[in-house]
Structure 1
Amino acid sequence: MNKIVIIDDHQLFLYGLKLTLENEDNTVITFDSPIQALPEIKQIQPDLILMDLYMPDMSGLVLIEALTKQEVASPVVVLSACEDYQDVYLALQKGAAGFIPKSYSPAAMLEALQSISSGDIFVPEHVALAIQEIAELEERNKEIFHLSERQLQILKLIHEGRKNREIADILCISQDTVKFHQKGLYTALDVSGSSSRIKAVDKALKLGLIKV
C-alpha cells in the first residue's frame, strides 16, 4: 500500500484517479491547487506525487522546482494530456520520475506507477523518442551558435530580469565585462536594436539554449 498525493485542477479526473488508486489499497490525498498542496506535502511524506503539468495558479514545472527546494524526496509523476514534449523534457530534467499520458487506461497507468515505485524512470516509448530528438536539437543549437559558458550565464540572468549591475555583482565581474559578453551574445544570436535583451531571450528559449 502506498500513500499517494494527487494534484490536479480538473475535479472529474481528480476524483476518478483517486477511486482507481484507492481500489488498489492505496491511501490517496488530493489537492486541486498546487499552492494548497505545497505547504502540506512535506508533512504528508507521500510515496508518490502525481501532478498535472498545466494548472492555473502554478505550473507543474514550477511546483517540481519548489518541491526540490523543500527537499521533498517523493518521486514526482507528471500526468498530463499535453503533447508539448518540450515541457515533458523540462519536467524530467527538473527531477520528475516519469510521464504518464492521461489517455492511458487505468491498467496501463497502474503498471507505470508500479515501475516508478520500483525506482525506474517511466516515459512511453514514443515520448522518449520525441524527447531524445529535443535533446539532440539543443546540443546542435549550442554548437551552431557557439555560446560560451559565461554568455549562457549572462543570458540566463537576463531572462531572470537582472540588470547589468546585478549581473556583474552575481558573477563577480565588472559591468564593462558584462557588456562585452552581451555584445558577443547578441552577435552570435543575430539580434540587434534597443530590444536586444528581449530578442536574445526569446530566441534562446525557442532554440532550447535556456530553459524556463
Structure 2
Amino acid sequence: MNLTIGIVEDEKNIREGIALLVDASEGFECKHTFDSAEEAMQKIPLLNLDVVLMDINLPEISGIRCVELLKPRCPNTQFLMFTSFEDTESVFNALKVGANGYITKTTQPVKILDAIIDIHKGGSPMSSHIARKIVSSFQTTKTNTELEKLSTREVEILDLLSKGFRYKEIANQLFLSTETVRTHIRNIYAKLQVNSRTEALNKTFLR
C-alpha cells in the first residue's frame, strides 16, 4: 500500500515539484497539496494522510502554528517540516508543537523520500546540519550552566588550563601565588564534582 502524502507549501513551483517527485516514486502517493495553512487545517483532518510535508513561512498562519492546531485532530499523521528556515528557534518550536522531523528545502530528492519513509516508521529525520545545530545548542546550554557555578577568577584559571598552562604559568599570568592557583583549582573541581583537569574541561566543553 502506498504512503499517502500531503504537501503544504505556498510557492507553486516547489509545491508542484515535490508532488511530482512523490507521485513518480514507487510506494508513494500525493493525495493533496495546499497553498495555505487555512486550507490545510480544513481538509487534512478528512484525508487520513500518513505524512504531511509542512512549510513554515506560509501566508497568514505559519506552518508551525498549523501543525500545533492539526496534531490533536490528526494523531496518526506524521508532520515533517520542509522549510528554508534553519534557525534553532524554528526547529525547537516546530518539534515542540508536534512535528516529528525537520528537513530543509536544499535536501536532495532521494533524501526527501528517505525522510518520509523514516518518519512513517517512527523516526525523526533531520537535515544533518540542523541536527548539528541542535546538538550545539544543548552543548552551549550545558556549558553555560556549568560555568555559572564558577567565579570569574575560576573561569579565567580554567580557560588557561584548557590552553595547556601549568600552575606556575597561570600564577604568573594572573599575578597570583602558585598556592592560590592550587586552591582555586581545588574549588573548581569541587564545584564541578570532578577529580582532574581533563574531567573539568570535558564537563564545561572548553576542550
Amino acid aligned to 2:29: T
Aligned partner of residue 66 in structure 2, secondary structure? helix
Give the C-alpha shift of residue 72 in structure 1.
3.5
Amino acid aligned to 1:48: V
Distance in 2 of aligned mates of 1:137 and 1:62: 27
Give the C-alpha shift of residue 137 in structure 1.
4.6
Contact 1:86 1:131 in 2 (8 A): no
Aligned partner of residue 82 in structure 1, secondary structure? coil
Give the C-alpha shift of residue 139 in structure 1.
6.5
Q: Can you give the 5+ residue segments of structure 1 that lack an aligned partner in the other structure?
A: 146-212
Q: Can you give the 5+ residue segments of structure 2 that lack an aligned partner in the other structure?
A: 149-207
Q: Which residue of 1 aligns with 2:96?
A: 93
Distance in 1 of aligned mates of 2:147 and 2:61: 34
Q: Which residue of 2 aligns with 1:42?
A: 45
- Say whether residues 1:132 and 2:173 are aligned partners: no
Which of the pair has more CA radius of gyration?
2
Give the C-alpha shift of residue 132 in structure 1.
2.4
Give the C-alpha shift of residue 22 in structure 1.
0.2
CA RMSD of aligned residues (A): 2.2
Q: Which residue of 2 aligns with 1:31?
A: 34
TM-score, normalised to structure 2, is 0.63
TM-score, normalised to structure 1, is 0.62
Give the C-alpha shift of residue 126 in structure 1.
2.1
- Say whether residues 1:14 and 2:24 are aligned partners: no
Give the C-alpha shift of residue 133 in structure 1.
2.7
Map 1:67-82 to 2 at 5 A. 67-82=70-85
**How many residues are treated as equivalent by the alignment?**
145
1:167-199 deviation digits (Å, cap 9, x = unpaired)? xxxxxxxxxxxxxxxxxxxxxxxxxxxxxxxxx
Distance in 1 of aligned mates of 2:58 and 2:83: 10
Amino acid aligned to 1:69: P
1:120-153 deviation digits (Å, cap 9, x = unpaired)? 11112321121123345557778999xxxxxxxx
Contact 1:42 1:72 in 2 (8 A): no
Q: Percent identity?
A: 28
